[in-house]
Amino acid sequence: MIKNYNFKVLLMLVIFLIYFFSTILANYFQHYEYIFSDINNIKKYQLFSSRVSFYAYIDLEDDMYTEGEPYDFRIKEVYEDKNYFIGYDFDKNYETNEIEKGYYIVVDKNKATMKIYNEKDFKEKYTNINYKEFINIYTFLKRKGTKIGKYR
């Protein structure tokens, strides 16, 4: 009877450890991906998350970066409607906790174009966008993205 009890406890411990470590590994290697296209399906855009931070990245078009620069744009907050996909990134001063510079990437789904704007130019051109509708990228990807099992 005591041997049977010890075996059950040992078996439960092994099952718990397998579950615990498999959950950690699954969460570590998974990331989110969101693919969308323009209205006429001319171009496809891929948004993918980083496995260790709360950022996502969108691949830039070939003519948007010069040699030696990164080929993707980091996104912290996002806005999407039927006409636009807009990603927002900012530089933050961690001593004062204030945003110093903001950058926007705008994908116009009607024209199949992608452009990057600084904060001033963006606010002048896109006056109809409600800035309160931007949401955290992690929340956005959990709603619309697909979980991918391996990190690129």
Q: What are the boundaries of each domain within the chain?
A: 1-30, 31-144
Q: pLDDT digits over 70-94, tens only?
A: 667 889 999 999 999 999 998 776 6
Burial class of residue 24 in the structure, from the number of CB atoms within 10 Å of its CB (0-12 exposed, 13-18 middle, 19+ buried):
exposed
Q: What share of the chain is helix, strand, coil (3-state, %, to 5)?
A: 30, 40, 30
Count the Cβ atoms, other than its own, within 10 Å of residue 42.
10
Q: What is the mean pLDDT of each successive set of 10 residues along the chain, which is 152 residues long?
A: 72 83 62 86 86 76 67 87 91 72 91 91 89 87 71 40
Q: Specify whether the CB–CB gap between 61 and 46 falls below 8 A.
A: no
Give 92-111 pLDDT, tens digit per residue: 766 777 777 889 999 999 99
Q: Are 86 and 106 in contact (CB under 8 A)?
A: yes
Unique residue bearing structure tokens 């996104």: 75
What's the chain's Rg over C-alpha atoms? 21
